[in-house]
Amino acid sequence: MNDLSGRCIQSRGTWLQFDFNDKEPNGNFRVKQFHFDYGYDLDKVLQQLPLKELLNKGETDTMKEKLKNGDRISVSFVKDGNEQRFYIEANPQFKSVNIYDEHSRKVTLNTALGNKTMEAMKVTHKVNEQQQQAQKNGMRIG
């Protein structure tokens, strides 16, 4: 069901996502595939986030399995000893996770952490440009 929501799922080591903007001649939606050699490392991406759940191996394993199944999961970001609730989902295409606030609005990591300076915004835009370029260069659509 998560794949029909546009989220990625992992099947046999490959991340799969329907492309609702591209149909095959028979009318079926194309499927984007992100294989192991594409370079998406969920563990590495999660380690870059200030997640409370990473402090407990059982919670970490459960979190990773849910993300691989395409779930959007609730997590706690810890900053300066304070916790804030967000929701994340795997985003292999851009080698990251999507972050959502309590109102299901997509937010950047900088916004989630409260880094709303102009410099942070410039970095975010630069990363977005790099992600778009990576999409053009290394993504396989089948």
1 pLDDT tier (thresholds 50, 70, 90): low
pLDDT of residue 64: 94
Average pLDDT, the chain: 80
Cβ 119 vs Cβ 126: under 8 Å: no
pLDDT of residue 116: 44
Cβ 52 vs Cβ 68: under 8 Å: no
User: Which among 135, 128, 129 is positioned nearest to 34, based on CA atoms?
Assistant: 135
User: What would the mean pLDDT of 69-98 be, rounded to a whole number?
Assistant: 91
pLDDT of residue 142: 54
User: pTM for the full model?
Assistant: 0.70
Residue-wise pLDDT tens digits, 63-80: 999 999 999 999 999 887
Burial grade of 66 (CB within 10 A; 0-12, 13-18, 19 or more): middle
Helix (H) or strand (E) holding 78: strand 73-79
C-alpha neighbours within 13 Å on the C-beta side of residue 17: 23
Cβ 92 vs Cβ 33: under 8 Å: no
Question: Which of these ranges, 16-25, 35-44, 103-112, has the smallest mean pLDDT?
Answer: 16-25
**Domain residue limits, the chain:** 2-141
Give the dihedral sign, CA 139/7/67/84.
Answer: positive
Report residue 90 as tokens: 């795997």
Residue-wise pLDDT tens digits, 21-59: 777 788 777 888 888 888 889 999 999 899 999 988 999
